[in-house]
């Protein structure tokens, strides 16, 4: 009998034992080999919160309006406008003639009134003479008491008619005066109605011109009710006009409204603006009320990222790991943002490129941001 069939099982068993030994040695080598280092996501710089003097201010929006508008209109009716001497934008002085009406009709009425006055004066003189004679005859009994009373009453009636005619003449004199439209104050003509045209016959009281009194403008800003108590008359206010490259002018707070709107909970403040200037009535403007300065901890704005309306920084833990920390922020000034809570003053945070990192990422720190230049920003570099 051949020995080959007996050796086959033994050879198979030996092969299996050698294979198992090789696998065991391979696994042991893998376990004992050092782990590969985790690759850094970014090369970054770090910074710490720096103290800074931040200006305290209240910002508000509002519109520019005339300090006071004067409506200049017609005080007579049925007269034709004969001349118009001013237009929109003209600067006028108090008492200056703006327009005039035709006076022929008024002069005729005035002449008639003077004639009625003369007639009433003659009648009053005659009645006074008759009453005087009647009083002289009272002692002689030539006239009865009733007749004397009649003469005295006629004298009083004639005097009353005379006063009425004089009053009517004065009315016509006033109408003649009102045929001239006079500026009630210094200022700038801001509007001219269609009725202020030569040949027009405007109704009594109809507006012809609108005047910005003394050329004064003011900014009417809407301020939240909680901030009104911090504003005082006389404060300087920086007002920036709307539009690209809008100029900035300095006004002065004149008055804080005594009431607050029940719907918006905002109160109006009135800021006097210098004249002349770039401001125009009706313009929109944004303003800032300076309240001084306050010391605060700040970070570069690039070190803070926003997500879902919240602010976060990436705080460095150890030498290479970052942890996402939620912080409370306040005022912004330049490229700095105030940190009001959530972060210790000694904490080290990633200075820039936080949008490319997440919680638990590994980074490589190359240098700390210089404390002497808190506004300086460095760009992160990806690891190659």
Q: What confidence score (pLDDT) does residue 40 get?
A: 60
d(CA 183, CA 196): 14
What string of DSSP letters covers 269-320? EEEEE-SSSS--TT-EEEEEEEEEEEEEEEEEGGG-EEETTEEEEEEEETTT
C-alpha closest to that of 48 among 346, 338, 320: 346
Q: What confidence score (pLDDT) does residue 26 get?
A: 55
Strands 217-224 and 50-66, bridge-based pairing = antiparallel
Q: What confidence score (pLDDT) does residue 141 get?
A: 75
Q: 381, 43 in Cβ contact below 8 A?
A: yes
Answer yes or no: is pLDDT of 361 > 80. yes
Answer yes or no: is pLDDT of 58 > 70. yes
Q: Band of the pLDDT at 16, cuts 50, 70, 90?
A: low
Q: What confidence score (pLDDT) does residue 364 get?
A: 85
Write the DSSP symbol of residue 346: T
Q: Which residues pair with 299 in a beta bridge?
A: 337
Q: How far is CA 32 from CA 24, 27, 201, in A?
A: 12, 9, 109
| Residue the block writes with tokens 């990192």 | 357
d(CA 17, CA 27): 16
Which two tokens mark 69? Answer: 């508008």
Which two tokens mark 114? Answer: 């003077």
Answer yes or no: is pLDDT of 243 > 80. no
Residues in the chain: 384
Answer yes or no: is pLDDT of 291 > 70. yes
d(CA 40, CA 44): 10
Q: Band of the pLDDT at 367, cuts 50, 70, 90?
A: low
| Residue the block writes with tokens 């080999």 | 33
Strands 187-192 and 97-101, bridge-based pairing = unpaired
- Does the pTM of the predicted model rise above 0.85? no
Q: What confidence score (pLDDT) does residue 57 get?
A: 83
| Residue the block writes with tokens 């920036």 | 240
d(CA 228, CA 100): 48
Answer yes or no: is pLDDT of 298 > 80. yes
Q: What confidence score (pLDDT) does residue 69 get?
A: 93
Q: Band of the pLDDT at 118, cuts 50, 70, 90?
A: very high
Answer yes or no: is pLDDT of 174 > 70. yes
């Amino acid at each position: 009998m051949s020995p080959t069939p007996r050796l086959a099982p033994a050879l198979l068993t030996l092969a299996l034992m050698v294979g198992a030994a090789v696998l065991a040695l391979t696994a042991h080598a893998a376990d004992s080999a050092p782990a590969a280092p985790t690759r850094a996501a970014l090369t970054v710089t770090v910074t710490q919160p720096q103290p800074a003097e931040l200006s305290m201010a209240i910002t508000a929006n509002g519109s520019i309006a005339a300090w006071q508008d004067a409506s200049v209109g017609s005080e007579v009716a049925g007269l034709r406008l004969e001349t118009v001497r001013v237009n929109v934008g003209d600067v006028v002085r108090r008492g200056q003639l703006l327009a005039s009406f035709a006076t022929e009709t008024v002069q005729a009425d005035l002449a008639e009134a003077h004639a009625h006055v003369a007639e009433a004066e003659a009648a009053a003189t005659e009645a006074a003479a008759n009453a005087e004679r009647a009083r002289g005859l009272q002692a002689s009994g030539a006239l009865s008491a009733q007749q004397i009373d009649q003469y005295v009453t006629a004298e009083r009636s004639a005097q009353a008619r005379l006063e009425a005619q004089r009053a009517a003449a004065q009315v016509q004199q006033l109408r003649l005066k009102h045929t001239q439209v006079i500026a009630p104050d210094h200022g700038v003509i801001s509007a001219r109605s269609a009725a202020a045209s030569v040949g027009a016959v405007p109704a009594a009281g109809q507006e012809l011109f609108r005047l910005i009194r003394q050329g004064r403008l003011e900014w009417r800003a809407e301020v939240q009710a909680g901030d009104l108590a911090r504003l005082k008359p006389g404060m300087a206010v920086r007002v920036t006009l709307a539009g690209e490259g809008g100029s900035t002018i300095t006004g002065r707070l004149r008055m804080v409204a005594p009431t607050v709107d029940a719907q918006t909970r905002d109160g109006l403040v009135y800021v006097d603006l210098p004249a002349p200037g770039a401001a125009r009535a009706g313009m929109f403007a944004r303003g800032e009320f300076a309240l001084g300065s306050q010391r605060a901890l700040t970070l570069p704005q690039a070190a803070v990222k926003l997500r879902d309306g919240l602010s976060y920084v990436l705080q460095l833990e150890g030498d290479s790991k970052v942890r996402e920390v939620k912080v409370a922020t306040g005022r912004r000034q330049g490229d700095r943002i105030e940190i009001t809570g959530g972060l210790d003053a000694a904490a080290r945070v990633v200075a820039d490129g936080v949008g490319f990192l997440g919680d638990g990422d590994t980074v490589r720190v190359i240098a700390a941001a210089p404390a002497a230049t808190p506004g300086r920003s460095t760009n992160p570099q990806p690891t190659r």
